[in-house]
Amino acid sequence: MAKLRVLFENGDPERTVEFDPANAPFHHDGQPGSILDILLGHKIFLEHACGGNCACTTCHVVVKQGYNDLSEASEQEEDLLDRAPGLTPTSRLGCQAVVENSNAEIVIVVPRFTINQASESRDS
Ligand code: FES
């Protein structure tokens, strides 16, 4: 089983989900097995204004642990990330970063500005 621990910069309580990447997709937005897919499938909200199609930056997350257990970022993702507020060297788009290791222990931070943008469309 893989683990995904989610820290929220806005102070929401952290969450941890355990999942088997082989069971992807967990939901219907983003790449199957992506951080967005896993979170939505476990009822944890992450903004995804473009529907998980690598066309916005609202699903930006900062990877604190397990960066190398994620799929490589495409050029399109890198280009979008360049425009993300608060970009870090381990930033990813949640809808594109697929967990590839079935024993991965991933830790991510959901930046505060993402949450603020999401305030009108929470569905969890
Ligand atoms: S949801 Fe738009 S790029 Fe991920």
Note the pLDDT tens digit of each residue in 12-27. Answer: 999 999 999 999 999 9
Local confidence band at 112 (pLDDT 50, 70, 90 cut-offs): confident
- Mean pLDDT calculated for residue range 60-70: 98
Other C-beta atoms closer than 10 Å to the C-beta of 11 total 8
Burial of 20 (C-beta count, 10 Å sphere; 0-12/13-18/19+):
exposed
Tokens of 50: 């473009």
Tokens of 95: 């809808």
Rg (the chain; Cα; Å):
13
| Ligand 1 pocket: which of 48, 61, 98 to mutate (most atoms within 8 A of CB) | 48
Sign of CA dihedral 54, 43, 106, 121: positive
Q: Say if ligand 1 is within 6 A of residue 97 CB.
A: no
| Ligand 1 pocket: which of 45, 70, 95 to mutate (most atoms within 8 A of CB) | 95
Region for 54 from its dihedrals, namely left if φ exceeds 0, alpha if ψ lies in -120 to 50, beta otherwise: left
Q: Say if ligand 1 is within 6 A of residue 54 CB.
A: yes
Give the pLDDT confidence score for residue 123 in this predicted structure. 46
Atom from ligand 1 closest to the CA of residue 54:
3
For residue 95, what is the DSSP state? Answer: T
